[in-house]
């Protein structure tokens, strides 16, 4: 017997469709997008900034901000401006009265002796609440109506297109004014509808149009695709096809719209509050700018500056992140399908 | 004769377009018996896909409309069912696979999700059980490592594998009839052979019937029991596959056979059927094939003048038999179990216009003996230098 006895060759089982790619995790749209986003340093930085604002807004919900600090004014006012007779104070590291380091004084005090810093924090909470809630209304209305219009066509489509064309044709500011007037003094579920609820409703009920148009176009494109016909051939009903089959294929657009829309909503809130149509009872970024507009001539610069910078940085961060998100989620750049 | 599983009787479908009404399916009748493979052959535009989609009522109702006829499954007329009842039929009693496997799967769901959905739409079982059914279905269609494949996405698979997944989805609820609309047209030839063999195997195992829509005569010759040839929205010939290939009765079928190139032929030009398929909005009168038909021209050359008339097509003028222009022939049983719609088919004047009923199965070919597993036998033998 030779020293070399060959080992028996293990019988290989014949298999169809031998697995060629041994990828650890399947490449989905979300994984691809996340990978692309991670490589974009600027976008990540902007995302971090936006997250910071969210954290600040959450602080705004805690009890740290009591009424007298932000709404009613300090019990011990700052220095009284001799010429103006009001309780301004320039930004300072320490509370002039006590000498201790006081965060509330870092951005100064406004004409009622209220801490600009804490008003800014509260304004962050208001801005993000408005942006988020209005987005929810916009998404629910826009996606549902857009999907129904795009999928069913015919009369359903005609009605919805008529609806959003009409809403879209009315000048936005007029719609807002009418909402503000109608809802003033009304209550629902024990809450007053003026102020934040009113803006949220007004914004949500006017911005759904853009998203609706977008979703309608996308659903129209997907409705004639083969996978829809295949799903129908397997016995899926219409509702199931629209919401479970088509919608996940267009949902990335909703995400992009949401990210970019936040900035738009914040701007809208600022404009409305500035015009006196928005938040009236609690501080918001728009209110701060509104309150401070006359002070600039008298050399009181801190409130309007701080509020404007805060809005600017937030918008910039959200816009850059939103654009990066759009690039990351673009199916054409994916290279698959 | 056994009862047919599916009977299509005088199906008429119309589409309302801007240019008026067109009728892609006119008076189509055929039957499918249990365990049979029925092929519908024809060129693009002859109405075969519309017929198949109409069986499952997948034609969008505006602009499509079923003008008349019956489609009987188990004694129920499918055209009379409500949409809800129809959804119970789709995927469960009758399933369908489509031509384009690359796009027939939803790109954002895993294979397992999609097959499991097909199952849960028709049976009340838990998700876990549905996934087990899906895994077994993938195994049945010959996909290796099905447990892993369940969690993959369509874009991770090749065309042949996607078509197998489509078949798995279609078969997951054990349908009695599978409608295959050009299932291999988009695949390359070797994969085509595998898919067709898979379908044959599954058919044998489950006693399922297959309605095979195709334009490929080779596929028909190897797989079909019964063939219906369609032209210009009607069935022009129906016969068992052996009869059709032995003695085609309709000039269109003859033309199709002549145009298939054969090995060993020494010719300069390939044969074609001159002319093009007629536009459904502007069908010719009488027999829809007469402008392209060699038989009618041959007969007209030898017939007395009053039986012929002039016709024109593609800029040419020629003489054809008058009856071909004036009367559209209906489908008659011209030979035993062989139907044709041509005025000049054998026995046509005496033949009866009936609906084709062909309970025929091609003779079973003994399954080839399993190839000897050479590697395993080699492993057992001792190596003796």
How does pLDDT run across A142-165, given as a tens digit for each residue?
Answer: 999 999 999 998 899 999 999 999
**Which candidate from A6, A21, A226 shows the least CB-CB separation from B156?**
A21
Q: Do B121 and A234 touch (CB under 8 A)?
A: yes
Closest residue in B to A234 (Cα) is B91
How would residue A118 be classed by pLDDT, with cut points 50, 70 and 90?
confident
What percentage of chain A reaches a pLDDT higher than 70?
Answer: 77
What's residue A68's pLDDT?
Answer: 58
For residues B372-381, give the mean pLDDT: 65
Q: List the one residue out of B64, B92, B168 whose CA is nearest residue A236.
A: B92
Q: Which residues of chain B have a CB within 8 Å of the CB of A154?
A: 62
Q: What is the mean pLDDT of chain B?
A: 88
- Contact at CB, A8 and B152, closer than 8 angstroms: no
Kindly state the helix (H) or strand (E) to which residue B67 belongs, with its residue range. Answer: strand B64-73
CA B367 vs CA A99, B204, B221: distances in Å: 99, 11, 18
| pLDDT for residue A303 is more than 80 | yes
Enumerate residues 156 to 185 of chain A having a beta carbon within 8 A of any beta carbon in chain B: none
pLDDT of residue A111: 73
CA distance B358 to A243: 44
Q: How far is CA A227 from CA A168, A241, A282, in A?
A: 34, 10, 51
In angstroms, the CA A83 to CA A79 distance is 12
A197-232, pLDDT tens digit by residue? 888 888 898 899 999 999 999 999 999 899 999 999
Which chain A residue has its CA at the smallest distance from B148's CA?
A19
Q: pLDDT (tens digit, 9 = 90+) per residue, A47-57? A: 999 999 999 88
Q: What's the pLDDT at A117?
A: 84
pLDDT of residue B275: 84
Q: What is the pLDDT of residue A335?
A: 47
- Residues B123-166 pLDDT 10s: 889 999 999 999 999 999 989 999 999 999 898 888 889 999 99
Residue B385 confidence class, pLDDT cut points 50, 70, 90: low
CB contact under 8 A, B109 and A16: no
> Which residues of chain B does A336 touch, with a Cβ-Cβ cutoff of 8 Å?
107, 155
pLDDT given for residue A22 in this prediction:
46
**pTM confidence score:** 0.80
- Determine the pLDDT at residue B374: 66
Mean pLDDT of B172-201: 89
> Do the Cβ atoms of B238 and B229 come closer than 8 Å?
yes
pLDDT at A331 over 70: no
Q: Which residues, in sequence order, are bridge partners of residue B308?
A: B321
**Nearest-CA distance B221 → chain A (Å):** 25
Chain A CA closest to residue B166: A230
* Of residues A70 and A286, more confidently modeled: A286
Mean pLDDT of B32-61: 91
Among chain A residues, CA nearest to B55: A233
Do the Cβ atoms of A27 and B378 come within 8 Å?
no
* Terminal-residue alpha carbon distance, chain B: 65
- Residue of A226, A231, A249 lying closest to B100 (CB–CB): A226
Instruction: Indicate the residue of A16, A21, A227 with minimum beta-carbon distance to B104.
Output: A227
pLDDT at A71: 62
Proportion of chain B above pLDDT 90, given as a percent? 49
Give residue B144's Cα distance to chain centre: 29
- Is A236 within 8 Å of B117 when comparing Cβ atoms? yes
Predicted local distance difference test score (pLDDT) of residue A20:
43
Query: pLDDT-derived band of residue A333, with 50, 70 and 90 as boundaries?
Result: low
CB nearest to B118's CB, from A16, A29, A234: A234
Per DSSP, the three-state class of B230 is: strand
Between CA B209 and CA B228 the distance in angstroms is 15
Contact A1 B385 (CB under 8 A): yes
| A121: closest CA of chain B, how far (Å) | 41
Residues B78-101: pLDDT tens digits?
999 999 999 999 989 999 999 888
Among B103, B170, B378, the residue with its CB nearest the CB of A9 is B378
Summarised one tens digit per residue, pLDDT across range B315-342 is: 788 888 889 999 999 999 998 899 999 9
* A19 pLDDT higher than 50: no
Q: What is the pLDDT of residue A97?
A: 65
How much of chain B exceeds pLDDT 70, in percent? 94
Mutation target among A4, A16, A17, A336 for the B interface, most CBs of B within 10 A: A17
Cross-chain residue pair A235–B91, CB shorter than 8 Å: yes
Q: Does A337 touch chain B (CB under 8 A)?
A: yes
When pLDDT is cut at 50, 70 and 90, the band that residue B226 belongs to is very high
pLDDT at A16: 44
């Amino acid at each position: 017997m030779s020293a070399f006895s060959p080992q028996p060759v293990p019988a290989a089982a014949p298999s169809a469709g031998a697995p060629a790619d041994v990828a650890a995790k399947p490449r989905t749209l979300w994984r691809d997008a996340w990978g692309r986003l991670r490589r974009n340093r600027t976008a990540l930085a902007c995302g971090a900034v936006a997250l910071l604002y969210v954290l600040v807004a959450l602080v705004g919900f805690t009890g740290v901000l009591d009424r007298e600090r932000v709404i009613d004014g300090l019990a011990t006012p700052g220095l009284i401006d001799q010429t103006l007779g009001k309780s301004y104070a320039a930004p300072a590291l320490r509370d002039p009265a006590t000498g201790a380091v006081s965060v509330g004084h870092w951005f100064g005090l406004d004409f009622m002796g209220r801490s600009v810093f804490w008003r800014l924090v509260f304004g962050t909470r208001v801005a993000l609440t408005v942006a988020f809630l209005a987005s929810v209304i916009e998404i629910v209305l826009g996606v549902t109506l857009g999907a129904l219009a795009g999928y069913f066509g015919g009369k359903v489509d005609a009605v919805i297109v008529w609806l959003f064309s009409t809403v879209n044709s009315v000048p936005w500011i007029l719609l807002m004014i009418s909402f503000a007037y109608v809802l003033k003094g009304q209550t629902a579920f024990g809450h007053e509808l003026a102020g934040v609820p009113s803006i949220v409703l007004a914004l949500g009920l006017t911005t759904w149009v853009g998203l609706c148009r977008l979703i309608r176009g996308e659903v129209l494109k997907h409705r004639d695709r083969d996978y829809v016909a295949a799903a129908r051939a397997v016995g899926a009903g219409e509702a199931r096809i629209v919401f479970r089959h088509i919608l996940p294929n267009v949902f990335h657009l909703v995400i992009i719209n949401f990210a970019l829309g936040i900035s738009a909503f914040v701007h809208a809130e600022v404009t409305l509050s500035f015009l006196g149509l928005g938040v009236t009872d609690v501080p918001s970024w728009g209110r701060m700018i509104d309150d401070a507009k006359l002070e600039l001539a008298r050399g009181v610069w801190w409130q309007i500056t701080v509020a404007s910078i805060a809005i600017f940085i937030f918008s910039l961060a959200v816009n850059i992140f939103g654009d990066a998100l759009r690039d990351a989620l673009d199916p054409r750049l994916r290279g698959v399908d | 004769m056994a009862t047919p599983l599916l009977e299509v009787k005088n199906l008429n479908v119309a589409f309302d377009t801007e240019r008026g009404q067109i009728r892609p399916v006119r008076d189509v009748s055929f039957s499918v018996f249990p365990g049979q493979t029925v092929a519908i052959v024809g060129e693009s535009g002859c109405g075969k896909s519309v017929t198949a989609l109409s069986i499952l009522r997948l034609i969008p109702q505006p602009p499509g409309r079923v003008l008349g006829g019956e489609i009987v499954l188990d004694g129920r007329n499918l055209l009379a069912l409500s949409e809800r009842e129809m959804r119970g039929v789709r995927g469960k009693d009758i399933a369908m696979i489509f031509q384009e496997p690359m796009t027939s799967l939803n790109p954002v769901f895993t294979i397992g999700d999609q097959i499991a959905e097909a199952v849960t739409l028709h049976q009340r079982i838990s998700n876990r059980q549905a996934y087990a059914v899906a895994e077994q279905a993938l195994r049945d269609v010959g996909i290796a490592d099905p447990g892993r494949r369940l969690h993959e996405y369509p874009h991770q698979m090749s065309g042949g594998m996607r078509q197998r997944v489509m078949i798995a989805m279609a078969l997951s609820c054990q349908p009695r009839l599978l409608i295959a609309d050009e299932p291999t047209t988009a695949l390359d030839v070797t994969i085509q052979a595998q898919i067709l063999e898979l379908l044959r195997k599954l058919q044998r195992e489950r006693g399922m019937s297959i309605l095979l829509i195709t334009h490929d005569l080779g596929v028909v010759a190897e797989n079909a029991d019964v063939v219906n040839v369609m032209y210009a929205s009607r069935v022009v010939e129906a016969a068992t596959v052996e009869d059709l290939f032995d003695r085609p009765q309709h000039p269109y079928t003859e033309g199709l056979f002549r145009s298939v190139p054969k090995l060993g032929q020494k010719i300069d030009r390939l044969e074609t059927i001159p002319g093009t398929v007629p536009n459904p909005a502007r069908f010719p009168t009488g027999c829809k094939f007469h402008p392209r038909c060699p038989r009618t021209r041959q007969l007209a050359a030898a017939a007395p003048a009053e039986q012929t008339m002039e016709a024109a097509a593609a800029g040419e003028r020629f003489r054809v038999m008058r009856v071909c222009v004036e009367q559209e022939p209906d489908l008659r049983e011209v030979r035993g179990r062989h139907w044709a719609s041509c005025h000049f088919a054998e026995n046509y004047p005496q033949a009866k216009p009936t609906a084709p009923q062909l309970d025929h199965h091609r003779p079973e070919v003994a399954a080839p003996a399993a190839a000897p597993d050479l590697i395993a036998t080699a492993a057992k033998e001792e190596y003796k230098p």
